[in-house]
Structure 1
Amino acid sequence: MSTATTSTAVIGAGWAGLAAAVAAVEADERVTLFEMAPQAGGRARSLAAEPGGLRLDNGQHILIGAYTATLSLMQRVGVDPEAVLLRTPLALLDQDGVGLRLPKGHPVIAFTRAVWAMRHWSLRERLALSHAAAGWMLRRFRCDAALTVAQLTAGLPARVRAEIVDPLCVAALNTPADAASATVFLRVLHDALFAGPGASDLLIPRRPLAELLPEPALRWLARHGATLRIGQRVQRLEARTDGAGWTVDGAAFDRVVLACSASEAARLTRDIAPAWSASAAAFGYEPIVTGYVQAANARLAAPMVALAEGPQAPAQFAFDHGALGMTPGLFAFVVSGAAPWVAQGMDATGAALLAQARAVLRGEGAADAVLVKLVAEKRATFRCVPGLQRPAARVADKLSAAGDYVDGPYPATIEGAVRSVRSMY
């Protein structure tokens, strides 16, 4: 029988909420987890199975070796990251298999070798990126907080920006380089490329997102006595009359963790902490659109390839699910920073994405590719712009917030969400 004396409500079962609930249980607290959706996972979740048994995700997500908090959490709930993630050295390859490949070894040496192995670049282009990277290191990956990524890298040749800077920026921040925060971009580069061996490795899911954390975490929480309220939206959060904590829809708790979306947290705290609520409600957002394409006997040059986007080519990345050990002939094409395409409508986006897929895929089945699912996550991430003011983790006494949007060094990523819990335990 549990000897826990502190009762904790965690509102939201995305990756931050699951991290908070697990940490609270490990701290010997009595945990109740609320989630308004019918499944856990938040903005990194699996969808209901499609006809034929295809289990797709709400978007194609990747992790990197620097996601130490996320990998630790997966292990704590019984998931072996090596079994569910394909670990490969960072490679930004195009559909012909040409591009940046980081070899193993010391990160600085590996990055330098990768740049100088770009034989399709001129000497000037390789020198320019090497010089820029050295300057960022000398400045300890810091810059004027008002700079955008485009301004930070304006001196680089156009091909370097198009093949390296822009894809890395939109993949990490989901914000176009001309609007993205250079400060956050440099922090991501530091932790990914220069933090240590393996930090830059790509970790690409080989299983649906639900199997990476949400479902194992719910099973772990249930085994450890947590109460799960899935499919229950919290309507009211109020201070207890005895001053000893909070009530969640009338039920008393000693402490509460708001791990729901920023907009939900703003709604629940409007009367409790008006200034904090206003800050949480003030975010701009960027969408991500993912198109799942089927093409039997087709392939990509690598499990993940970077694509040249254009007026009729919306996707920046494509993933070969067959090469990842999942469904052969299934491919995910990802449109980050997708606001212009969402504005055009899903029919136009789907048609352009399918045409792009047929042009990019290799093999006899490429011409017969079909679009089986188009998923638009319209508030996929907050818009990571210079000078962005993010609300603090502390909302009020015994009331905290967890999520990728709370004040911290990272953009809206899985790792940012999981790390937001660290200050609480």
Structure 2
Amino acid sequence: MKVAIVGGGWAGMAAAVAASDAGHSVSVFEASRTLGGRARALQGTLPNGEPVTLDNGQHILIGAYTETLRLMRQVGVDPEANLLRLPLALPFVDGTGLQTPAYATHWPAPLDAIAAIATARGWSWGERFSLIRASLGWQWNGFRCEASLSVAQLCHALAPKVFHELIEPLCVSALNTPATHASATVFLRMLKDALFGIRGGSHLLLPTSDLTAIFPQAAAQRVTQMGGALHLGQRISQLRYEAPHWLLDGHAYDRIIWATSSSNSALALVECAQSAPEPIATSLRSWSATAAALRFEAIATVYAWSPTARLPHPMLALRPNAVEPAQFVFDRGQLDGTSGLLAFVVSASDGTADALEAAVLAQARSQLSALNLGALQVVQTVVEKRATFACTPALHRPPQQIAPGLLAAGDYVDGPYPATLEGAVRSGWAAGIDLGQAMDMPR
């Protein structure tokens, strides 16, 4: 079939690879000049004048992202060469926090995670046991709970220190939603796959190459090698239904996968519905209403540099509070070799970029003073205001099928995962392989 994919993010490129490998004729349309969507490379300059490749947000992958890792290998990217694999560890600068012992690094799940919990520094035995007891209870219940529960409600019996130093940062990093408002159902699914799934599922995978290079760029090369076409800097201005085809700016396709943001998708489909026949128009309006109802959370990454800045680990956990917002800091020198560059991540962020920069620099001086980082200077602050949907309890997400012959792909599409790279890749792959089973268009 002749297939168009609108959007060159991780979901769109996963769909493009799946469709190309299935033998379809694929055309990808991406409005920007860089592939990757909300996980892409961008260019910056250090205070010393040195050019540097950044990302539009510091990302963490985990070993449980099986589809992402599989697809990276399928397009010729070696995960071990492009991702720094670390055992589960959320250390603070003072040496406390969760850290998997060296002897347990290769233990099968969940023994490695249990070892990390049992040896967590700074926790009493009672605090450790509260987490082990809760984890075994979650496993006993099949990692299922009432859909209406929040993460905070799910974890109400945990010791406060464990909740604040482990559950809250895990929740906000995975779901980008505060624990008081985040879906316990989705959180449990993440815990099941990460801590109780495959061997190494809890490992942290930190990108050592830019986010465009570790998948979207390689995916594009594979698609073009398979005879597909890639159109960068080309924004689609009109989607129209003309039986038995969908038309993009007047060009007909047998199937279309719409892989842009939920808000962009909803706007385009509402406009298309104005001229579409029934029941196509009804399907478009129904899907758009569900997508438009999603709420969003922001993520900010503050890149700061000093010639002497270096962390004791590639990644440190921070203790956020009302005036110090960052949850994690990454040493890019230990990842991509950019010496002195730190990336502070503020999930579920609010406020202006200037305010975040000032707060993060103050937090670094306060919480990282023992490291003698030097005078940090802001390189660039990236604020993705609509980075992820708010992953709240009993959330209704739009389905993959929009209308006959028209599919959606994206981390917000109905599925078991929150707005993560794994969620995006799984959605895109599913859309790409389901093209043949998608409902035929009425004539």
Q: TM-score range by the shorter chain?
A: over 0.9
Answer whether contact 1:295 1:330 (CA < 8 A) is retained.
yes
| 1:158 alignment partner in structure 2 | 160
Q: For each residue in 1:210-258, what CA deviation from the matched residue of structure 2 results, as whole angstroms up to 9, or x when unmatched?
A: 21112222222222221111111111111123x2x21111100000001
Letter in 2 for 1:275: S
| 1:412 alignment partner in structure 2 | 419
Q: CA deviation at 1:121?
A: 1.4
Answer whether contact 1:297 1:363 (CA < 8 A) is retained.
no
Q: Which moved more, 1:381-390 or 1:269-278?
A: 269-278
Answer whether contact 2:5 2:258 (CA < 8 A) is retained.
yes
d(CA) in 2 for partners of 1:367, 1:48: 24
Q: CA deviation at 1:119?
A: 4.2
| 1:133 alignment partner in structure 2 | 135
- Aligned 1:273-312 pairs, distance under 5 A: 273-312=284-323
| 2:90 alignment partner in structure 1 | 92
- 2:35 alignment partner, SS class: coil
| 1:214 alignment partner in structure 2 | 216
Q: Does 2:336 align with 1:328?
A: no
| 2:255 alignment partner in structure 1 | 255
d(CA) in 2 for partners of 1:233, 1:352: 37
Q: CA deviation at 1:106?
A: 1.9
| 1:3 alignment partner in structure 2 | none
- 1:279 alignment partner, SS class: helix
d(CA) in 1 for partners of 2:120, 2:51: 42
Q: CA deviation at 1:364?
A: 7.1
Q: 1:83 aligns with which of 72, 81, 84?
A: 81
Answer whether contact 1:48 1:56 (CA < 8 A) is retained.
yes
Q: Does 2:30 align with 1:13?
A: no
| 1:30 alignment partner in structure 2 | 25
RMSD, aligned CA: 1.4
- 2:334 alignment partner, SS class: coil
- 1:412 alignment partner, SS class: coil
- 2:430 alignment partner, SS class: helix
Letter in 2 for 1:261: S
Q: 2:205 aligns with which of 203, 215, 218?
A: 203
d(CA) in 1 for partners of 2:229, 2:196: 41
d(CA) in 2 for partners of 1:367, 1:297: 6
Q: Which moved more, 1:354-363 or 1:23-32?
A: 354-363
d(CA) in 2 for partners of 1:123, 1:216: 47
Q: For each residue in 1:19-60, what CA deviation from the matched residue of structure 2 results, as whole angstroms up to 9, or x when unmatched?
A: 001111101111110111221100101113435211111110
| 1:170 alignment partner in structure 2 | 172
| 2:390 alignment partner in structure 1 | 383
Q: CA deviation at 1:114?
A: 1.5
Q: Does 2:410 align with 1:400?
A: no
Q: 1:119 to 1:33 in 2, by over 3 A?
A: closer
d(CA) in 1 for partners of 2:122, 2:420: 32
Q: CA deviation at 1:178?
A: 0.5
Please give the TM-score of this superposition, normalised by the length of structure 2.
Answer: 0.91
Answer whether contact 1:259 1:402 (CA < 8 A) is retained.
yes
- 1:235 alignment partner, SS class: coil
Q: CA deviation at 1:109?
A: 1.8
Answer whether contact 2:5 2:27 (CA < 8 A) is retained.
yes
Answer whether contact 1:299 1:361 (CA < 8 A) is retained.
no
Q: CA deviation at 1:185?
A: 0.3
d(CA) in 2 for partners of 1:379, 1:421: 20
Q: Percent identity among equivalent residues?
A: 49
Letter in 2 for 1:327: T
Q: For each residue in 1:107-128, what CA deviation from the matched residue of structure 2 results, as whole angstroms up to 9, or x when unmatched?
A: 1222222211124212221111
Q: CA deviation at 1:133?
A: 0.6
Answer whether contact 2:113 2:202 (CA < 8 A) is retained.
no
| 1:120 alignment partner in structure 2 | 122
d(CA) in 2 for partners of 1:46, 1:146: 37
| 1:74 alignment partner in structure 2 | 72
- Aligned 1:239-254 pairs, distance under 5 A: 239-241=241-243, 243=244, 245-254=245-254
d(CA) in 1 for partners of 2:228, 2:93: 47
Q: Which moved more, 1:113-122 or 1:325-334?
A: 113-122
Q: Does 2:63 align with 1:56?
A: no
Letter in 1 for 2:83: L
| 2:329 alignment partner in structure 1 | 318
d(CA) in 1 for partners of 2:228, 2:399: 27
* Gaps in structure 2 of 5+ consecutive residues: 274-280, 434-443
Q: 1:101 to 1:119 in 2, by over 3 A?
A: closer
Please give the TM-score of this superposition, normalised by the length of structure 1.
Answer: 0.94
d(CA) in 2 for partners of 1:143, 1:399: 33
- 1:211 alignment partner, SS class: coil
* Gaps in structure 1 of 5+ consecutive residues: 1-5
- 2:3 alignment partner, SS class: strand
- 1:143 alignment partner, SS class: coil
Answer whether contact 1:296 1:365 (CA < 8 A) is retained.
no
Answer whether contact 1:295 1:369 (CA < 8 A) is retained.
yes
Q: For each residue in 1:344-373, what CA deviation from the matched residue of structure 2 results, as whole angstroms up to 9, or x when unmatched?
A: x22221111112123344677523111111
